[in-house]
A and B are shown apart, each in its own frame.
Chain A
Amino acid sequence: MRTAARTQSEAIVIAGERVVCDPRGVLYMPDMELLVVSDLHLEKGSSLARRGSLLPPYDTAATLQRLQAVIADYAPRRVVSLGDSFHDGEGAARLPEIFRSRLEVLMDGRDWYWVAGNHDPQPPDGVSGRTVQEIAIGGLTFRHEPSAHPIEGEIAGHLHPCARIVQRGRSVRRRCFASDGSRVVMPAFGAYTGSLNVLDRAYHGLFSWPDFRAYMLGSSRVFAIAGALLRPG
């Protein structure tokens, strides 16, 4: 296993499986040589442009660049993209050729699974890899939307978790992995993805609160913060 030289990741155990939360917002399962990313929302910029918001058209480039860096670090055998990989159903078709080939280079020689998300329920146009509704690898199940009830061994995305603390009168808000040791909700990886506080109602009933931690993403390490210190908003 190779790990990033400059970053310090946090290893946790989910349903008996060891997984590593990387501060760049990806999850790595060393035993399976599996890299998991969630909510890439590729081509979100052009999707919004169609509706009149002309945001800088560099989000796909930025997201792929970061993805390239983590893949280079971990050199995984398998990659799971946990859904909402493209911001809309036509996103893959709109993908400029240069990015399509960059993506293919990343996929080359690896098992690549596109988990279907609510933004991209169909297999992406003209991009290789396998599209699945959900997939079980090792003792873990990977799906886009978290199941509404407590569950053991689920890795999901969709909610774009973030957490906020207040320390010395200053507020710090970061994307985070949300986990209680039984399941994980992954942070969104895409350059234009917003986030939703883990104290929001959307998370109710997902976690066992006493064991809950928000693994907040710092610039070079992950910070595990207990529920009592978290603030809404």
Chain B
Amino acid sequence: MFPKWLGGYRAARYLSCVNIEAYPQRELNALLPQRFQNWFALRGWAPRPHQFELLARAQAGHSVLLIAPTGAGKTLAGFLPTLVDLEARPKRRPGGAHRGIHTLYISPLKALAVDIERNLGKPVSEMGLPVAMETRTGDTPAHKRQRQKLVPPDILMTTPEQLALLIAGSDAQRFFADLRYVVLDELHSLVTSKRGHLLALGLARLRSLVPGLQAIGLSATVSDPDELRRWLVSQNPPGNMADLITVSGGAKPEITILDSDEHVPWSGHSARYAVPEIYEAVKKHRTTLLFVNTRSQAEFLFQELWRVNDDNLPIALHHGSLDVSQRRRVEKAMETNSLRAIVATSTLDLGIDWGDVDLVIHVGAPKGASRLAQRIGRSNHRMDEPSRAILIPANRFEVLECRAALEANYLGAQDTPPLVDGALDVLAQHVLGSACGAPFNADLLYDEIRSAASYINLDRHTFDRVIDFVATGGYALRGYERYARIRLTKEGLWRVSHPRVAQQYRLNVGTIIEVPALNVRYVRQGRGAVGRGGPTLGKIEEAFLETLVPGDTFLFAGKVLRFEGIRENECFVSNAPGRDAKVPYYGGGKFPLSTYLAGEVRAMLADPDRWKRLPDQVADWLRMQADKSALPRREDLLVETFARGERHYMVAYPFEGRLAHQTLGMLLTRRLERAGAGPLGFVATDYALAIWALGDMGHMFQRRQLPLAELFDEDMLGDDLEAWLADSWMLKRTFRACALISGLIEKRHPGQEKSGRQVTVSADLIYDVLRAHEPDHILLQATRTDAAAGLLDVRRLAEMLSRIRGRIMHKHLERISPLAVPIMLEVGKEPVYGAASDSLLLEAADLIEEAMGE
């Protein structure tokens, strides 16, 4: 078997490459040194056209973006210019100075850096190339990092955080003096987060250090390649773009939606109904990769598969919370093809390849067409053979969503999110890092930062406020001048005021905010938290554990576990085999439904012709809905009202994703409260929103006592949003992240005792004080921007509200409609919003009064 990562393919087969004007063969050969030609020939391979193309453009001095599906040999293409360059480089004279880094490789995953080093090592040694390669990640020991500074390798494989640390070193200028290429892998996934902002700033710094630097971006297909082309190069002058090479997809994937003989559930996320059919599919294939959206779904599916695994097939579980040694064992087993199936979350999403996967099963809706395409790309990593994939919708709405995603994948539609402006908390971190490297001139740094596409819109005033924030906190009450972290020298340069500041910076670099999590450790049952305990199984979020009582059972690491208690930073559990996990798992996914898929689902609902491609039970459901209520047109919003029990319900179907619906629910309940409808609570799913109230909302809409158009008016995004936001836990959570990234508060490092809590100042307290005394502070501004784009999804809500103006369709019904059943089933299962925590305290206090007869 030849290494798939090379995109190795036999010379006889050809790929279609779009937008490449073919070079004559003679010229191609001139590009590629004899040693490389021989090596390819020896293996019966030929370099692919896009690999040549990238080499030619890089040698002409250009930066390049290569967009290609998995399996196209992106990695070799990305490194070919480097290897060719290094091959021709004269040998270092003995005793001569050490040369700096030649090529920097940056990937989002530590594991990927390690993987690439291993894979690239083979051709390098077989060709006898004089190339030294090393990785540098958070796990690299201090002595090795030290040595890397003194004797740099030719190729250094690293992560965005390590790059930030390297450029904040006082020796950065020397270290990067010989840098020629930066290779950015999985660029599509890097650029969408705050890590991408940090990387963009790092890249801008590198371009200042090394003016001739060329960037090579490797990416999966995205909706707007020009964004990435601009991202890769200096935006001074604005509009510069890297060259683009696009490799079209290989064979069309064979994707089917499971047409189950079983009843497809109305709601829920477990897909339990399909487990026997999934198992049959696993049996018929060599290796199956099963993707799910959340850790808890992975645990559930794994458990259910083993329940029916009569043939004892080797089926494994892989997700990010599991103990590292357990994950490595699974990865190892995959590499040697000794597994038949792996249930995995997004930890396996990115370009690491293991084993011979011939089927991908996606359980639950994919939430985005591009995400689906990337996951399916995991199967059969050769472009010339079609990938096989089966989608398993967990409920009826997911049937519609899967159908829409499937049609999108056939059409090649892309719905990767647009890039957003760089975040200010990340900028603050970078400004401090810059000062740690060398004293900086604010004018020059401002120009450098704006050369990064992510920060091209940064205005000077905001930039100066960020510098002020880094120096003294940027408060209107100027009390901290004497404690400044950076100070302006007489020469007009900003300099770190104390070496301790640089130390603090190094401990807090990065943009990944770890959710507080506890180690899960085995003990014998009934011992409580006293026994010493056995092995660690992994980590679980504190927030989940906080809701458990000793004796509760839950699923983790593929086992049913009994919660015994918490001590310090460990959670003790015992085995509870043969029982059902009592504590329900959180079923929703963390990715919201993409705007594109949402539009497609609405289009499908509106067009009875398209129902023919749906399973009968789902099509029947839609026909019933048309009969009993109505189906909205593509751009319309359907609102249904009906009474049930003592309560009045309103169900709206915006299809804009759970986050936007939660925000909408919060805002609508405020308005309903003011209008005297007496709202009691609401639940939100990816597709719909249900609010229940004491008052008859339908009646109020009909008598125009509260016109629907007014209820859904866009002005809710003004004062109502402000007022609600002020106390929202979502804003507090977002503030905490901004405070950590910007360096206002420090990360909690392992070993810091929890009982130190009365000494540390929690981010919530800081937030309350800052909001009361300086609501316009730059960090609160950054927090609101983040929340609007992130947890609140205000942008999408705003687009929806403007779309439905004058297009709201109201149905006042005798009883619940077929379309409303799924969300009504969620009532009671999902947390109810709007209930103040004081009312929970009151319940607990009342229990005592009852018991004590007070």
A residues in contact (CB < 8 Å) with B: 44, 46, 48-50, 52-59, 61-62, 96, 159-160, 164-172, 174, 188, 191-197, 200-202, 216, 218-220, 223-226, 229, 231-233
Instruction: Report, as a range, how many residues of chain B touch the other chain.
Output: 35 or more
A-B pairs, 6 with minimum CB distance: A54-B473, A58-B773, A160-B758, A167-B840, A223-B845, A57-B479
* Residue interface bits B764-776, CB-to-A below 8 A is 1, else 0: 0110111011100
Report the Cα distance A226→B854, complex, angstroms.
13
* A166 CB contact (under 8 Å) in B504, B547, B768: B547
Residue of A nearest to B472 (CB): A54
Judge if B284 is at the interface, Cβ distance under 8 Å: no
Q: B765, B838, B845: which contacts A191 (Cβ < 8 A)?
A: B765
Nearest residue (CB) in B for A190 is B765
Q: Which residue of B lies closest to A188 (CB)?
A: B758
Residue pair A168, B773 in contact (C-beta under 8 Å): no
A224 contacts which of B477, B765, B845 (Cβ < 8 Å)? B845
Cβ of B831: which chain A residues have Cβ within 8 Å of it? 169-170
The answer to whether B547 and A170 touch across the interface, beta carbons within 8 angstroms, is yes
Distance of A201 Cα from B753 Cα, bound (Å):
13
Kindly list chain B residues whose C-beta atoms are within 8 Å of the C-beta of A197. 757
Given A194-B759, A219-B838, answer yes or no on A171-B546 (Cβ-Cβ < 8 Å).
yes
Q: When the two chains form their complex, are residues A52 and B774 in contact, meaning their CB atoms are under 8 A apart?
A: no
Whether B549 is near chain A, meaning CB under 8 Å from some CB there, is yes
Residue from the list A56, A194, A225 in contact with B762, Cβ < 8 A: A194
Known A54-B472, A61-B773, A167-B843; contact A225-B848, beta-carbon cutoff 8 A: yes
With an 8 A cutoff between CB atoms, is B619 at the interface? no
Residue pair B840, A168 in contact (C-beta under 8 Å): yes
Q: Which residues of B contact A49 (CB under 8 A)?
A: 473, 479-480, 483
Contact A233 B542 (CB under 8 A): yes
Tell me which residues across on chain A come within 8 A of B774, comparing CB atoms: 56, 58
How many inter-chain contacts with C-beta < 8 Å in the A-B complex?
141
Residue of B nearest to A193 (CB): B758
Bound complex: CA A159 to CA B229 (Å): 57
| A202 x B755 contact (CB < 8 A) | yes
B570 to chain A, nearest CB (A): 12
Q: Any chain A CB within 8 A of the CB of B500?
A: yes
Partner of B770, one of A46, A58, A164: A58
Is B752's CB within 8 Å of the partner chain A? no
- Kindly list chain B residues whose C-beta atoms are within 8 Å of the C-beta of A165: 840-841, 844
Q: Supply 26 A–B pairs (Cβ within 8 Å), ascending by A.
A: A46-B479, A52-B500, A52-B504, A54-B483, A56-B473, A56-B475, A57-B475, A165-B844, A168-B840, A168-B843, A170-B831, A172-B840, A188-B758, A194-B765, A195-B757, A219-B838, A223-B842, A223-B844, A224-B845, A225-B841, A225-B844, A226-B848, A229-B847, A231-B549, A233-B545, A233-B566
A54 to B468, CA, bound (A): 12
Q: How far does the alpha carbon of A62 sit from the alpha carbon of B768 in the complex, in Å?
A: 10
| Residue in A closest to B759 when the chains form the complex, CB atoms | A194
| Cross-chain contact B838 with A55 (CB below 8 angstroms) | no
In the complex, which residue of chain A has the Cβ closest to the Cβ of B584? A169
B residues near A202, Cβ cutoff 8 Å: 755
Which one of A50, A52, A192, A223 contacts B769 once the chains associate, using CB atoms below 8 Å?
A192
A220 and B839 CA atoms in complex are apart in Å by 11
A170: chain B residues at CB < 8 Å are 547, 831, 837, 840
Q: Helix, strand, loop or mixed for chain B's interface?
A: helix
Q: Which residue of A lies closest to B498 (CB)?
A: A52
| Contact status of A96 and B479, CB under 8 A, knowing A54-B744, A168-B840, A196-B757 | yes
The answer to whether B549 touches A62 (Cβ under 8 A) is: no
Partner of B473, one of A55, A200, A201, A229: A55
Asked if A62 and B773 make an inter-chain contact with CB atoms under 8 angstroms apart, the answer reads yes
For A229, the closest partner residue in chain B by CB is: B844
B813-854 contact mask (Cβ, 8 Å, vs A): 1 or 0: 000000000000000000100001110111111011001000
Query: Does chain A have a CB within 8 A of B760?
Result: yes
Interface hits, B263-302 → A, CB 8 Å: none
Closest-CB distance, B854 to chain A (whole angstroms):
9
**Chain B 729-765 interface 0/1 with A at a Cβ cutoff of 8 Å (1 = within):** 0000000000000001110000000010111111001
Best-surrounded residue of A54, A168, A196, A219 (most CB of chain B within 10 A):
A54
Alpha-carbon separation in the docked complex, A193 to B761 (Å)? 6
**Alpha-carbon distance A180/B837, docked complex (angstroms):** 25
CA distance A216 to B777 in the complex (A): 32
Q: Which residues of B contact A50 (CB under 8 A)?
A: 483
Given contacts A50-B483, A194-B758, contact A223 B841 (CB under 8 A): yes
Tell me the complex Cα distance, A62–B767, Å. 12
Q: Is B485 in contact with A54, judged by CB distance below 8 angstroms?
A: yes
Whether the Cβ atoms of B758 and A195 lie closer than 8 Å is yes
